[in-house]
Structure 1
Amino acid sequence: MSSVSSASRERGRTDLPRSGRAPGHPGRPKARTVRLTDRGFALLLMAPAGVFLAAFVLWPLASLVVDSFYDISPMAGERRFIGVDNYREAFGSTEFIGASVRTVLYTLLVVSAEFVLGLAAALMFHALGRRSRILRTVFLYPLMIAPVVAGLLWRFLMIDNFGIVNELLTGMGVIDDPDALGWLSDPDIVLFSVALPDIWLTTSFMALVLFAGLQNLPGDVLEAARLDGVRPLQMLLRIILPLLRPVIAVALVVRGIDAARAFDVILIQTNGGPENASQTLSLLIYRTMVRFGDPGLASAMGTLYLLAMLAVALVAVATIWRPGKA
């Protein structure tokens, strides 16, 4: 019995291939585990955002720069390379120079007013502490309003004939007649008038950013300054503002770029008038592209506009962003 079983076992062994696997059952290769480094994992997570930016930011920017060197006829579908002629025409245009100056003035006015008012609000919120929660919520309401709606609202408030602002000023005796002050029809003050809705809308953003920066200031430094008898104004100028430099740089750059490209608020209120007194570069580029049908010249203006904002942002960051330095 033992000899038969041992013989059968021998035959079973000889029937098997040398690999030890039964015929008809191919062996499965072992699964290989791919391990990503931290850098590779980070790149993998950023890949979708990179593809999105390349498709919707880099490609349009590249097309903008390329189109600025061509004379484009949209109706005829023709493109003719003309080099830097579009840039020469832009620099030689008094309309472009005037719109550039107005854009700079508008941006300085809006950002300066928002910074002063936002810093005052942030300091008040910081001083009140938790008691300012409801006030902070109410203060952020204008940030939720669409710019088009804000432009329409302020247009009805400041319109010459029956605007609420002039009616209130007349009732208080500041002006004699509601038509005496043309907020949106006087070329001398219209740029200030169209800036008011922008200031009203986004001062809360500036206050929110600065308040977040105040919350992260080292408390021991502020407490030591109070014990040393530092006055509130000196505390603000010599301690708080230097420590807030990185936050201020981010807030000013973000709001500066956003204010420089203001379009919808001004379009709704004055459409660039009167006498182009409120026409900024965004409106001029839009009109050159849509109304006058000159994509090449509009692309050249847009490229110059982009380079100017990039240069201002780099200078602002290099000047203000000095964390830890007084």
Structure 2
Amino acid sequence: MSIRTNRRPAFGPAVPGSSAPRRRSLRLTDARFAALMMAPAAAFMAVFVAWPLAQFITNSFYRYNPISDAPHRFVGFGNYIAAFGSAAFTNSAVRTIAYTAIVVFLEFSLGLLVALLFSGLGSRSRVFRTIFMYPLMIAPIVAGLLWRFLLIDNTGIVNQLLFQLHIIGSPTQIQWLSDPKIALLAVSLPDIWLTTSFIALVLFAGLQNIPGDIIEAARIDGARYPTLLFRVILPLLRPVIAVALIVRGVDAARAFDVIVVQTNGGPQNSTETMSLLVYNTQISDGNPGLASAMGTIYLVAMIALAIVAVAAIWRPGSDR
């Protein structure tokens, strides 16, 4: 007499309708684990970045008063047409490009020089690297206030030092923050002082990843240092340079607090960049629709410039 049982053999094929495949489907794979780890950050970005950005772009197609209860009036691309036809928008765009070019050029030049110096010193530069990174810990608004007192026309320390060194004839000869011709350069000094250390840190890290045998082979072939720098080191640093320039370029183009603290866009709007124009249009003029259109144009321009910078500097996929 035999007894029949429904128990599945330990090493036999799975019985149709059993729960084993379902248990396997609920197993935590690498992809699911990565998705779970990214879920909080994705939710944060969706709530605090994507949703406000979507509202910002949507507002650019409407005209309304944020104070009154009047309904939003759809104007289509009217705000964009008004932005492109505004002389203030064009002038602010030119000033933003000039400010960004000044800041990024000087920061990259000084940062590359310091990074090469630290790389040449090797481990002996540890203390100097630590001291050089201190400005990164200072808030931009504090740096702006500090440099405002340094550059103020009557009692500024910079003019006093230049006068004591007999470089200028009067402590009020150079009006750093009052002369429209040099005010844009003056307000860029705190930004350069703050973030040159960032460029130097990024470039120094990139220099440590350059294979030493390539440098040694170039030296054995008789390459002098200028040739070694421009033909070997800088081409190998292209990805690092692209990241540094894009990050600092976007950050410099949206400079706001440093300029507001020093000049608030003056004198004669000579330091009113795009960020200040959008802020003044939103707050002072009470026109959030036009401000949203200006900000959207600015956002698209920054994305386009970042893509061009990646393609021109980094040139991913290039074998040259």
Residue 205 (structure 1) aligned with residue 198 (structure 2): yes
- Indicate which of 92, 97, 105 corresponds to 2:98: 105
Matches within 5 A, 1:293-304: 293-304=286-297
Matching residue of 1:244 = 237
Matching residue of 2:47 = 55
- Indicate which of 148, 159, 178 corresponds to 2:152: 159
Matches within 5 A, 1:1-326: 32=23, 34-77=26-69, 78-322=71-315, 325-326=319-320
Q: CA deviation at 1:76?
A: 1.5
The AA in structure 2 aligned to 1:149 is: V
Q: CA deviation at 1:322?
A: 3.0
Structure 1 segments unaligned to the other structure (5+ residues): 1-17, 20-28
In the aligned structure 2, how far is the partner of 1:162 from the partner of 1:45? Answer: 54
Q: CA deviation at 1:62?
A: 0.7
Which one is further off, 71-80 or 115-124? Answer: 71-80
In the aligned structure 2, how far is the partner of 1:76 from the partner of 1:152? Answer: 36
Conserved? CA contact 1:72–1:295, under 8 Å: yes
In the aligned structure 1, how far is the partner of 2:228 from the partner of 2:280? Answer: 49
**TM-score normalised to structure 1 length:** 0.89
Structure 2 segments unaligned to the other structure (5+ residues): 7-18
The AA in structure 2 aligned to 1:280 is: T
In the aligned structure 2, how far is the partner of 1:249 from the partner of 1:104? Answer: 18
What SS is found at the alignment partner of 1:319?
helix
Q: CA deviation at 1:36?
A: 2.9
What SS is found at the alignment partner of 2:72?
strand
In the aligned structure 1, how far is the partner of 2:270 from the partner of 2:182? Answer: 9
What SS is found at the alignment partner of 1:73?
coil
Q: CA deviation at 1:325?
A: 4.1
In the aligned structure 2, how far is the partner of 1:325 from the partner of 1:232? Answer: 24
In the aligned structure 2, how far is the partner of 1:72 from the partner of 1:325? Answer: 53
Conserved? CA contact 1:87–1:301, under 8 Å: yes
In the aligned structure 2, how far is the partner of 1:165 from the partner of 1:74? Answer: 44
In the aligned structure 2, how far is the partner of 1:281 from the partner of 1:291? Answer: 15
In the aligned structure 2, how far is the partner of 1:238 from the partner of 1:183? Answer: 39
In the aligned structure 2, how far is the partner of 1:190 from the partner of 1:211? Answer: 32
Conserved? CA contact 1:242–1:325, under 8 Å: no
Task: Give the structure with higher Rg (CA).
Answer: 1
In the aligned structure 1, how far is the partner of 2:128 from the partner of 2:252? Answer: 26
In the aligned structure 1, how far is the partner of 2:223 from the partner of 2:31? Answer: 47
In the aligned structure 2, how far is the partner of 1:32 from the partner of 1:39? Answer: 17
In the aligned structure 2, how far is the partner of 1:243 from the partner of 1:266? Answer: 35
The AA in structure 2 aligned to 1:74 is: P
Identity %: 62
Q: CA deviation at 1:153?
A: 0.5
**TM-score normalised to structure 2 length:** 0.91
In the aligned structure 2, how far is the partner of 1:114 from the partner of 1:39? Answer: 40
What SS is found at the alignment partner of 2:180?
coil
Matching residue of 1:26 = none
In the aligned structure 2, how far is the partner of 1:207 from the partner of 1:325? Answer: 27
In the aligned structure 2, how far is the partner of 1:39 from the partner of 1:317? Answer: 29
Q: CA deviation at 1:75?
A: 1.4
Q: CA deviation at 1:313?
A: 0.3
The AA in structure 1 aligned to 2:207 is: L
The Cα offsets for residues 200-248 of structure 1, whole Å up to 9 and x where unpaired, read as 0000000000000000111111111111121011000000000000000
In the aligned structure 2, how far is the partner of 1:59 from the partner of 1:302? Answer: 15
In the aligned structure 1, how far is the partner of 2:109 from the partner of 2:319? Answer: 22
The AA in structure 2 aligned to 1:269 is: Q
RMSD: 1.7
The AA in structure 1 aligned to 2:218 is: A
Which one is further off, 84-93 or 34-43? Answer: 34-43
